[in-house]
Amino acid sequence: MQVFKVYFKIIKANMKQISIYLIVFLALSLIFSISSSPKEEGSFSKTKTNAAFINLDEDTALTKGFKNYLSNYVNFVDVENKQEKLQDALFFRDVDYIITIPKDFTKSFLQGKPVQIKKTIVPNSTTGMYVDMAVNKYFNTARIYVNNLPGITQENLVKEVSKDASSEVQIDLKTFGAKKQDNSFAVNYFNYLAYSLFAMLVLGVSSNLMVFNNKNLKRRNLCSPMKDRTFNLQLIAANLAFALISYGAMVILGLILNRQNIFSYNGLLLCINALIFTIAALSVSYLAGLLIKNRSAQSAIANVLSLGLCFLSGVFVPQQLLSKQTLTIASFNPTYWYVKANNAIGTLSNFSFDNLSPIFNCMFIELAFAIAIFSVSLVVSKQKRMTNS
């Protein structure tokens, strides 16, 4: 196993350069792990909105009762009743909602006339909808009492409406069936794996091929008693071993960071998909290694391949944000199908054959890329042998 041993001696000599990408991958994984802490589900808390209350009517029992009721939903901010002051308050977000009670509002309302409270809100404000619901609830309830109890006094009206409007219903949230697992960290982890794994394989494989394909060294090997077939088998075995070691190191790192998601059916599929992608990435790395002739071009090609294919295929930018033209171009490389399979695995909760079929199709395409690129590599390797002989 002389070739096998020499292969890993060359890897050891280039370990500093290769380990940089493993460190970058570890940093990305830790950052994502910290930033993606799980959010508590099923909880709700009221948030009061800053609002200005402008009363152009008299201080009647109805307007006072309404303002007192509304204090449960808003924080009242004193703003001078001038258009410029009110506009400034909205612009600088001192208030998000301005409530204006029109003149003779109470009198018109008690007589059953159609009358509305004026509102001014920040455009596209979600908090404004919450206040709208509170206002409508109060006056819709009041309208029912006015229409069905003629002559009711304002004091009794406010008392009854406040009692009805403040009533709450107790709701218990219950979950039936298994809770859906959040696989976002695992999916992003394995997507980022494509970048570092690609770069590590290109650097490791090309470092060895540059040595073994050296013209003088190759001629000396031809004179040795070792058969050419044995030499190639040991080289292939060393390449596979290096790829599997790189893959295993990253999977073990994933187990340490997120054991719960990895030890699941989704995690198992992600590991299988990553293993198939490793084979495809190895075939690309082997072809690139045959074309790399010097050290100065090695790092450049490793970065262009890893970063270019990952940006194009949805590793750093989600595939749903990429244009159709970009995705069409990206579909001609295995990284695209690897990321597509990972995204599908992350949303999987029912492991039926129909749901698994699209994922297996992506894996099959990755394998097809590996076979096709390896076949091209054999042709290139044969041509280089004929040229150097």
Tell me whether residue 44 is in a domain. no
Say whether both 145 and 269 belong to one domain: no
More confident residue, 35 or 43: 35
Tell me whether residue 234 is in a domain. yes
Tell me whether residue 192 is in a domain. yes
Query: Average pLDDT for residues 173-192, to the nearest whole number?
Result: 70
pLDDT range class, residue 116, cuts 50, 70, 90: confident
Say whether both 161 and 233 belong to one domain: no
Say whether both 108 and 127 belong to one domain: yes
Say whether both 22 and 58 belong to one domain: no
Cα(347)–Cα(249) distance, rounded to whole angstroms?
25
Residues 193 and 257: beta-carbon distance below 8 Å: no
* Segment holding 157, helix H or strand E: helix 154-165
pLDDT at 39 over 70: no
* Torsion of Cα atoms, 143 then 148 then 151 then 157, to 10°: -50
pLDDT computed for residue 225 by the predictor = 66
Residues 192 and 274: beta-carbon distance below 8 Å: no
Cα(189)–Cα(266) distance, rounded to whole angstroms?
13
Give residue 93's region: left, alpha or beta (phi > 0; psi -120 to 50): left
Say whether both 126 and 190 belong to one domain: no
pLDDT computed for residue 267 by the predictor = 87
pLDDT at 125 over 90: no
Residue after which a domain boundary falls, among 165, 194, 223: 165
Residue type, 169: V
Residues 40 and 85: beta-carbon distance below 8 Å: no
pLDDT range class, residue 110, cuts 50, 70, 90: confident
Say whether both 139 and 204 belong to one domain: no
pLDDT computed for residue 167 by the predictor = 67
Say whether both 28 and 125 belong to one domain: no
Tell me whether residue 94 is in a domain. yes
Tell me whether residue 205 is in a domain. yes
Say whether both 139 and 250 belong to one domain: no
Tell me whether residue 173 is in a domain. no
Say whether both 15 and 93 belong to one domain: no
Instruction: Indicate which CATH number applies to the domain containing 102.
Output: 3.40.1710
Residue after which a domain boundary falls, among 101, 134, 165: 165
Residues 112 and 147: beta-carbon distance below 8 Å: yes
pLDDT tens-digit map of 240-290 = 999 999 999 888 888 887 777 777 888 899 999 999 999 999 999 888 888
pLDDT at 122 over 60: yes
pLDDT range class, residue 180, cuts 50, 70, 90: low
Q: Counting runs of H as helices and runs of E as strands, what totals does the chain give?
A: 16, 4
Tell me whether residue 177 is in a domain. no
% of the chain beyond a pLDDT of 70: 86
Among 57-71, 171-185, 322-336, 358-372, the least confident range: 171-185
Query: Average pLDDT for residues 102-119, to the nearest whole number?
Result: 87
% of the chain beyond a pLDDT of 90: 16
Q: What is the DSSP string of 26-85?
A: HHHHHHHHHHTPPPPPS-----PEEEEEEE-S---HHHHHHHHHHTTTEEE----S-HHH
When divided into structural domains, the chain yields a total of 2
Say whether both 191 and 248 belong to one domain: yes
Say whether both 229 and 141 belong to one domain: no
pLDDT range class, residue 38, cuts 50, 70, 90: very low
pLDDT at 365 over 90: yes
Tell me whether residue 181 is in a domain. no
pTM here is 0.63
pLDDT tens-digit map of 292-326 = 877 778 888 888 888 888 888 888 888 888 888 98
Say whether both 348 and 221 belong to one domain: yes
pLDDT at 145 over 50: yes
Cα(263)–Cα(257) distance, rounded to whole angstroms?
12
pLDDT computed for residue 245 by the predictor = 92
pLDDT tens-digit map of 337-350 = 999 999 999 888 88
Q: What is the DSSP string of 240-306?
A: HHHHHHHHHHHHHHHHHH-HHHHSSHHHHHHHHHHHHHHHHHHHHHHHHHHH--SHHHHHHHHHHHH
Domain that holds residue 302: 2-39+186-388
pLDDT computed for residue 256 by the predictor = 83
Average pLDDT in the chain: 83
